[in-house]
């Protein structure tokens, strides 16, 4: 009678080990990841690359924009991802909740209101901000929409777009190669 019990235990041990090993090899976190290449709008010299990463607090947007005039420039997510020559086809600010324009911190603001970026004397701006009211996928998904940089500062007050002037840069937010963090051996 002992033989079948032994076999049974071995079988279970085998299944357990295989399951454990399989799980070990496939543990990885795939982060939702998107990016936008910023191209000139209205004949500017603005270019750049911004990456978008979903976090618990919103979407982290980071990267560098060059070719700006030194100073402060409004930056927003616009409704449509169609960046034409003057970025007019990108539409207005992404506003799924039908709110008033405002600062990212104010109660009433468009989901796409990301505030301002500041370019140094060389016309370079480092972007590192969190869009608290947008997401990659889900309700306030911004993949397929545009991120737009303007010639002037966003005053956070003037409707409907903060008096930030013409678009000078526009990029469609697209799905980017996933960053995989895996404990499996690198191939």
The count of other CB atoms within 10 Å of the CB of residue 130 is 16
Stretch that binds Zn ion, among 11-19, 58-66, 77-85, 96-104 (CB under 5 A): 96-104
- 148 makes contact, choosing from Zn ion, Cu ion, none, with CB < 5 to 8 Å by partner type, with Cu ion
Summarize as ranges the residues that interact with Cu ion (CB under 5 A). Answer: 76, 148
The correct pick among 73, 78, 101, 145 for binding Zn ion (CB under 5 A) is 101
Q: Give Cα 88 to chain centroid, integer Å.
A: 21
- Report, in Å, the least distance between residue 76 CB and Cu ion: 3
The yes or no reply on residue 133 touching Zn ion (CB under 5 A) is no
Q: What is the closest distance, in whole angstroms, from the C-beta atom of residue 178 to Zn ion in the complex?
A: 30
**Which single residue brings its beta carbon nearest to Cu ion?**
76
Strands 33-40 and 47-55: antiparallel
Give bridge partners of residue 127 from the DSSP assignment.
Answer: 63
Tokens of 50: 């911004």
Q: Which stretch binds Zn ion (CB under 5 A): 32-40, 56-64, 103-111, 131-139?
A: 103-111
**Cα–chain-centroid distance for residue 160?**
23
Instruction: Look at residue 101 and give the partner it binds from Zn ion, Cu ion, none, a contact being a CB closer than 5 to 8 Å depending on partner kind.
Output: Zn ion
As a whole number of angstroms, the distance between CA 81 and CA 35 comes to: 12
Would you tell me how many other CB atoms lie within 10 Å of the CB of residue 54?
17
DSSP characters over 119-155: E-TTS-EEEEEEETT-BSSSTTB-TTSEEEEESS---
**Nearer to Cu ion by C-beta: 33 or 130?**
130
Nearer to Cu ion by Cβ, of 34 and 148: the residue is: 148
Q: Is 78 in the site for Zn ion (CB under 5 A)?
A: no
Residues lying near Zn ion in the complex (CB under 5 A): 93, 101, 110, 113
């Amino acid at each position: 009678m002992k033989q079948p019990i032994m076999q049974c235990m071995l079988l279970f041990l085998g299944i357990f080990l295989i399951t454990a090993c399989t799980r070990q090899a496939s543990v990885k976190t795939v982060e939702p990841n998107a990016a936008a290449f910023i191209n000139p709008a209205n004949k500017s010299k603005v270019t750049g690359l911004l990456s978008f990463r979903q976090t618990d607090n919103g979407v982290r947007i980071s990267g560098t924009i060059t070719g700006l005039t030194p100073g402060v420039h409004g930056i927003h997510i616009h409704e449509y991802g169609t960046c034409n020559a003057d970025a007019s086809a990108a539409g207005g600010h992404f506003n799924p909740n039908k709110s008033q324009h405002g600062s990212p911190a104010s109660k009433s603001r468009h989901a796409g209101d990301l505030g301002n970026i500041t370019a140094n004397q060389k016309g370079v701006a480092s972007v590192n901000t969190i869009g608290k009211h947008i997401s990659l996928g889900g309700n306030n998904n911004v993949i397929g929409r545009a991120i737009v940089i303007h010639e002037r500062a966003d005053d956070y007050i003037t409707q409907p777009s903060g008096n930030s002037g013409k678009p000078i840069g526009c990029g469609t937010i697209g799905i980017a190669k996933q960053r995989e963090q895996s404990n499996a051996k690198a191939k």
